[in-house]
Amino acid sequence: MARISVLGGTGYGGSAVVGEGARRGHDVTAFSRTAPREPVRGVTYMTASVLDPEVLARAVADADIVFEALSPRGDMAGKVEKVFDDLVALAEKSGTRLGVLGGASSLLVSADGPRLLDVDPPTPEVRPEVELGIHKLEMLRESPETLDWFYVSPAAEFGAWVPSAKTGQYRISDEVLLKGPDGKSEISAADLAIAVLDEIERAAHPRRRFHVAH
């Protein structure tokens, strides 16, 4: 059993990771600014802001692994970068493993490129979120070797607005975008969470990014 802190634990991706972690019997604490609508039995919910340094420090100190799934939207816009930088420093100092829910835009559309964002540029509204995901990945890759991390990129179509059911299965790639026979790149939050918990339990991608899709 692992002690898992999930930052953004009531969001779309974070809440799925919380639920899957609890289902597997792990000790899960969800950190978020809002209480969950439907709490998961056995999960500890901390209603607090990780903008508070003491809250962020507690999330790291009390865990074997921290999974970061913060949304840089609304009043968190422009603030997640600083939180993430502090999170990396705390995790490296404490020896806590760090998992990150990133984006798909920096994935390659084929083995020899280009990147998805180069062929399908994000809208101005989404671009800050895309740039944040790239910043996180670059920072992790440049971090000290003593920091144990993984970065998971979901499919290109991922979010509460995308109807995608749980299948209990997923495909995995390193840097190349995965698509189904219909040409779509999708994954449900539930199946992404299965992939995340598999990684937490197996540690198959130390200090690496991986990509999952149906």
- What residue spans of 95-188 are helical by DSSP H? 116-119, 127-141
Cβ atoms within 10 Å of 119's Cβ, excluding its own: 10
Query: For residue 160, what is the domain's CATH number?
Result: 3.40.50.720
Is 73:127 a contact under the CB 8 Å cutoff?
Answer: no
The model's confidence at residue 67, banded by pLDDT at 50, 70 and 90, is very high
Per-residue pLDDT of 1-23, as tens digits, reads: 999 999 999 999 999 999 999 99
Range of the domain at 209: 3-213
Q: Which two tokens stand for residue 122?
A: 């994000």
Total number of domains in the chain: 1
- Winning range, highest mean pLDDT, from 65-69, 73-77, 110-114, 127-131: 65-69
Q: Note the pLDDT of residue 75.
A: 81
For the chain, give the mean pLDDT. Answer: 96
Q: Note the pLDDT of residue 165.
A: 87
| Phi, psi angles (nearest 5°) of residue 15 | -65, -30
Q: Note the pLDDT of residue 116.
A: 97
The model's confidence at residue 113, banded by pLDDT at 50, 70 and 90, is confident
163 pLDDT more than 80:
no
Taking Cα atoms as reference points, which of 61, 34, 63, 38 lies closest to residue 49?
34
Per-residue pLDDT of 82-91, as tens digits, reads: 999 999 999 9
Q: What is the largest CA-CA distance in the chain?
A: 47
Question: d(Cα 102, Cα 166) in Å, to the nearest integer?
Answer: 20
Is 16:154 a contact under the CB 8 Å cutoff?
Answer: no
